[in-house]
């Protein structure tokens, strides 16, 4: 269930358009919920957190496409850790 939800969120983030720019906070919340339960080491968790924070800064500055790409990278790292 978790893998499917995270995968769908990642796909939605990469395929969404400017009209869906409001979903960046939803992506950030999904990352926040998944990060503590992930199998990533501390360095990888720090990288995911950095990407999440960068994505939110981009979102807040109106750069939604860049924010989506950054959030998708973070979610992909979380997803790949669950698939290994």
Q: Can you give the residue ranges of every domain in the chain?
A: 2-83
From 82, 7, 1, select the one nearest 40 (Cα to Cα): 82
Instruction: Provide the whole-model pTM.
Output: 0.73
The contacts of residue 12 (CB under 8 Å, 6+ apart) are: 20, 23
pLDDT in tens, 1-51: 666 676 667 666 665 544 455 678 889 999 999 999 888 999 999 999 999
Tell the burial category of 84 from Cβ atoms under 10 Å away from its Cβ (0-12, 13-18, 19+): exposed
């Amino acid at each position: 269930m978790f893998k499917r939800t995270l995968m769908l969120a990642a796909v939605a983030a990469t395929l969404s358009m400017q009209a869906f720019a409001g979903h960046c906070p939803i992506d950030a919340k999904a990352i926040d919920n998944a990060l503590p339960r992930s199998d990533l080491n501390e360095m990888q968790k720090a990288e995911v957190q950095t990407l999440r924070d960068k994505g939110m800064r981009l979102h807040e500055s109106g750069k939604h496409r860049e924010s989506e790409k950054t959030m998708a990278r973070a979610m992909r790292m979380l997803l790949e850790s669950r698939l290994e």
